[in-house]
């Protein structure tokens, strides 16, 4: 997977550049992904170096928003006030498969968070930008194949756009793992997205006025 520092996407069906705050987090106990972390030299809290950018943009005038679903680019459009499910599709690169969540559903392709040997492939960083004010919640969810019910992670990314400079925060575990209460062991268990324990992984996004939620994906060497 090739890297690009500006996070711009290639044309559809071509390999994309992999790895193109007033951020408040509510995080329960997690096991961090391993690997060599990128260096920090940006001044905005994010690592320096090549990465993939994904902007989740809140749209206020949903009634007049174009209804066509489009792929490519680095943006997913969501209601400024409302709910959206961003389906997650496993692939070899980062790619927006459906950028229009005005109907409540969008889709984003991304690699599994770890290799076949268990080594972490990337980290995820987030911040809220745009006009101050508003909050949002992003939660990893999936379907239990046994019951058909949706299970959402005990951990969430809760953002609040405050005044002043906004900095990035590491949200890798919240967005690449689903942590749930195991009914057999009575313990909290975390699995990576695309783990066969569950199906139909997605990010459940509840937006209450956040104009832009920026996500950055950085490779781990």
pLDDT digits (tens, 9 = 90+) for 103-123: 999 999 999 999 999 999 999
181 lies in a domain?
yes
Quote the domain boundaries for residue 164: 52-219
SS3 189: strand
Count: domains in the chain: 1
pLDDT at 184: 86
Helix (DSSP H) and strand (DSSP E) numbers for the chain:
1, 13
DSSP state of 175: H
* Contact in structure between 77 and 13 (CB atoms under 8 Å): no
Residue 16: band (very low, low, confident or very high) from pLDDT cuts 50, 70, 90: very low
Average pLDDT in the 200-214 region? 96
Q: Is residue 196 part of a domain?
A: yes
Is 212 within the bounds of a domain? yes
Residue 10 belongs to some domain of the structure: no
Residue in 168, 128, 9 with CA at minimum distance from that of residue 74 = 9
3-state secondary structure of 108: strand
Query: What's the pTM?
Result: 0.80
| Mean of pLDDT values over 21-29 | 34
Using alpha carbons, list the distances in angstroms from residue 179 to 25, 121, 125, 127: 16, 19, 19, 22
In a domain, 2, yes or no: no
Residue 201: pLDDT band (50, 70, 90) is very high
> Mean pLDDT throughout 58-66?
91
Give the pLDDT confidence score for residue 14 in this predicted structure: 32
**CA nearest neighbour of 36 among 218, 189, 214:** 218
Q: Is the model's pLDDT at 7 over the cut of 60?
A: no
Q: Is residue 214 part of a domain?
A: yes
Q: How far, in Å, CA of 212 to CA of 199, rounded?
A: 28
- Give the mean pLDDT of 163-184: 89
Q: Is residue 34 included in any domain, yes or no?
A: no
Structural domain includes residue 14: no
Q: Structure tokens of 135?
A: 């909050």
Q: Which are the contacts of 158, defined by CB distance < 8 A and separation ≥ 6?
A: 24, 25, 26, 135, 136, 137
Rounded Cα–Cα distance for residues 13 and 219 (Å): 21
Pick the closest to residue 154 from 139, 166, 132 (CA basis): 139
Taking alpha carbons only, the member of 221, 171, 217, 172 closest to residue 20 is 217
Mean pLDDT value across residues 19-32 = 35
To the nearest whole percent, how much of the chain has pLDDT over 90? 64
Given a cut of 70, whether residue 6 has pLDDT beyond it is no
What's the CA gap between 157 and 175, in Å, rounded? 8
Tens-digit pLDDT profile for residues 135-156: 999 999 999 999 999 999 999 9
> Which position has the token pair 């290639």?
10
Helices (H), the chain: 172-176
pLDDT level of residue 160 (50, 70, 90 thresholds): low
């Amino acid at each position: 997977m090739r890297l690009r520092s500006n996070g711009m996407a290639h044309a559809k069906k071509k390999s994309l550049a992999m790895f193109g705050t007033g951020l408040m987090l509510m995080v329960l106990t997690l096991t961090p992904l391993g690997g060599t972390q990128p260096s920090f030299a940006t001044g905005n809290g994010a690592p320096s170096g090549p990465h993939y950018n994904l902007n989740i943009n809140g749209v206020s005038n949903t009634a007049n928003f174009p209804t066509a679903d489009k792929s490519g680019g680095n943006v997913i459009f969501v209601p400024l006030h409302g709910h959206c499910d961003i389906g997650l599709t496993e692939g070899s690169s980062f790619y927006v498969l459906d950028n229009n969540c005005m109907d409540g559903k969008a889709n984003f392709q991304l690699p599994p968070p770890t290799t076949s040997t268990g080594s972490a492939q990337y980290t995820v960083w987030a911040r809220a930008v745009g006009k101050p004010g508003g909050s949002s919640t992003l939660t990893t969810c999936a379907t239990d194949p046994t019951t058909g019910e949706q299970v959402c992670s005990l951990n969430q990314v809760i953002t609040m756009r405050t005044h002043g400079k906004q900095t990035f925060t590491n949200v890798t575990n919240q967005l690449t793992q689903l942590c749930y209460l195991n009914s057999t062991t009575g313990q909290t268990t975390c699995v990576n997205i695309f783990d066969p324990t569950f199906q139909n992984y997605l990010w459940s996004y509840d937006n209450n006025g956040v104009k832009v939620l920026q996500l950055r994906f950085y490779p781990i060497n």
